[in-house]
Amino acid sequence: MTKITFIQPDGESQTVEAENGLTVMEAAKLNDIAGIEAECGGACACATCHVYVDEAWRDKTGKAADMEEDMLDFAFDVREGSRLCCQIKITDALDGLVVRVPAKQF
Amino acid sequence: MIETTPAALEVSDISEASETSGPIETDAIVIGAGPCGLFAVFELGLLDIKAHVIDILDRPGGQCAELYPEKPIYDVPALPVVTGQELTDRLMEQIKPFGPQFHFNERIDGLVREADGRFRLTTDAGTEFLAKVVVVAAGGGSFTPKRPPLNGIEEYEGKSVFYSVRKIETMRGHDIVIVGGGDSALDWTLNLAPVAKSLTLIHRRDEFRAAPHSVEKMRKLVEEATVRLMIGQVTALEGANGHLTAVDVKTASGTERIACSAMLPFFGLTMKLGPVANWGLNLHENLISVDTERFETSEHGIFAIGDINTYPGKLKLILSGFHEGALMAQAAHKIVYPDKKLLFQYTTSSSSLQKKLGVK
């Protein structure tokens, strides 16, 4: 099991354990993390699972692919470290991953 | 989310000619041209129930066409893998014998029961229907433009913030800000540049999803200084009484205030339940409650199938929607043909069904 921490805009943090092979979005949905909507169900067809990957983890999660970048155009307040978390696959290398949930998904 | 071309989002100057002398009379109205709505046409057709299909998008397929046209689906029986577009194309072929009539770019707004028991339905474009049964196959609801979560934006909508433009002339002389990087944003940049007093295109990155030729044209206008391109994100609106005076744009070098009198944000489409909520149907968490024998709503003669309905054990799968459509059609038959006894038949062996399908 891999630990992932979600930090809400108000600073509240929740650490969940997730199985490798799932996506960070699925881990969030399984654990009822607030603010991760995932309207399209993980098809990279919306932008409602937007998160900010903590700076220390950006090398490990890698960068958004072209299709994901296109979808990020539909997210609000995109910053460095912005990712759609349905596109981040959980592996051992991500154990301890910290992501921040944006104030708004839209 | 996905963008459609601007024409798909609004009524253009010419298409207002779609008025008819009276309401269109038909057996069934199917609301939504997604896979479940399309297959409902098939099941209704086998039982001699004629249908008109209404969809807010400009083409059939619903979410399959709008969200996943290129993405593979692996759980449609007998099709190990099929894309959303292929599935749509095949369903369109399958229902062809029944000659359904489509009304795209329209949304059913009003639904009332007439004294004779039929339903009168009205679209946002003014088209009227009289139908014996209504099948709500509206999926996640109707696709509507996404509203950027900017404080107070509602106050400006329709006055100085627009998600579509009906008449280009209404934008003449305005200081226009267009936000987005897809085809809608770029098309409107090109269309409105000639009439605008000034036009600023704002996008979060210097890469555009829009068709390359539109991007090229836009770049040329930027070179000629007809259009200003800003790489950044709108963070706040400035103005009063619905009239925009400026927007704040966060760029790499800080926040800049851009004076403007109109803003057009193009952030794609999202699904909203929409007018369905006003038809007096029993809803449960924005879904329509149905029984599992007829898939009928709390209102006799109005059925709901596919993603928009709910019942114990509901799964939002295309295959479930197909099953729901088949049972719905049996129940609809009792309403459309109250005096006819329905004989259960197989397409494999029934010559009457084969005749309807045009294969005999």
CATH of A2-100, one of 3.40.640.10, 3.10.20.30, 3.40.50.1820, 3.30.460.80: 3.10.20.30
The average pLDDT across B32-44 equals 98
Min Cα–Cα distance to chain B from A95, Å: 30
Determine the residue type at B338.
P
Task: Spell out the domain ranges in chain A.
Answer: 2-100
Mean pLDDT of chain B, nearest integer: 92
Spatial separation of the C-alpha atoms in residues A102 and B79, rounded to whole Å = 39
Substitution target in B83, B163, B204 with the highest count of A β-carbons within 10 Å is B204
Q: What percent of chain B has pLDDT over 90?
A: 85
Highest mean pLDDT among A39-43, B9-13, B123-127: B123-127
Consecutive sets of 10 residues in chain A, 106 residues long: mean pLDDT of each? 96 96 97 92 88 97 93 91 96 97 88
Whether chain A has a CB inside 8 Å of the CB on B228: the answer is no
Distance of residue B312 Cα from the nearest chain A Cα, in angstroms? 21
What's the pLDDT score for residue B20?
52
Q: How confident is the model at residue B15 (pLDDT cuts 50, 70, 90)?
A: very low
Question: Which domains does chain B carry?
Answer: 6-143+270-357 (3.50.50.60), 147-267 (3.50.50.60)
- From B68, B146, B203, residue closest to A45, measured CB to CB: B68
Write the pLDDT tens digit of every residue in B273-319. Answer: 889 999 999 999 889 999 999 999 999 999 999 999 999 999 999 99
Question: Which has the minimum average pLDDT: B5-9, B19-23, B140-144, B271-275?
Answer: B5-9
CB A46 to CB B204 under 8 A?
no
Q: Cβ contact (<8 Å) for A73 and B180?
A: yes
Lowest mean pLDDT among B17-26, B80-89, B302-311, B338-347: B17-26
* Mutation for testing the A interface, residue in B267, B315, B316, B317 having most A CBs under 10 Å: B267
- The better pLDDT of the pair B269, B134 is held by B134
* Nearest Cβ partner for A78 among B182, B204, B271: B204
**A38-59 residues labelled b (16+ CB within 10 A) or e (exposed):** bbbbbebbbbbbbbbbbeebee
Instruction: Give the E-state strand segments of B172-252 in sequence order.
Output: 175-179, 198-203, 227-240, 243-251
Determine the pLDDT at residue B8.
37
Min distance B95 CA to chain A CA atoms (Å): 27
> For chain B, what percent of residues have pLDDT higher than 70?
94
**Do the Cβ atoms of A74 and B267 come within 8 Å?**
yes
Tell me if B307 is assigned to a ligand binding site.
Answer: yes
Task: Give the residue-averaged pLDDT of B345-349.
Answer: 93
Does position B267 have pLDDT exceeding 70, yes or no? yes
Quick one: pLDDT band at residue B152, thresholds 50, 70, 90? very high
Residue of A nearest to B146 (CA): A106
Could A69 and B268 be called an inter-chain contact, meaning their C-beta atoms sit closer than 8 Å? no
B4 — pLDDT class (breaks 50, 70, 90): very low
At B165-215, the pLDDT tens digits run 878 999 999 999 999 999 999 999 999 999 999 999 999 999 999 999 999
| Number of CB pairs, chain A paired with chain B, less than 8 A apart | 47
**Residue B96 C-alpha, separation from nearest chain A C-alpha, in angstroms:** 30
Chain A hits for B147, Cβ within 8 Å:
106
User: Residue A74: closest CA among chain B residues belongs to which residue?
Assistant: B267
Tell me what the mean pLDDT of segment B225-254 comes to: 96
B161 beta partners:
B157, B263
Q: In this complex, do A73 and B204 lie within 8 Å of one another by their Cβ atoms?
A: yes
* DSSP letters for B49-109: --EEEEESSSSTTTHHHHT-TTSEE--BTTBSSEEHHHHHHHHHHHHGGG--EEEET--EE
Asked if B180 is an interface residue toward chain A (Cβ–Cβ < 8 A), one would say yes
Which residues on chain B are in Cβ contact (under 8 Å) with A76? 148-149, 233
B6 has a pLDDT exceeding 70: no
- Rounded Cα distance between A69 and B58, Å, is 26
In chain A, how long is the greatest CA-to-CA distance?
32
Residue B235 near chain A (CB below 8 Å): yes
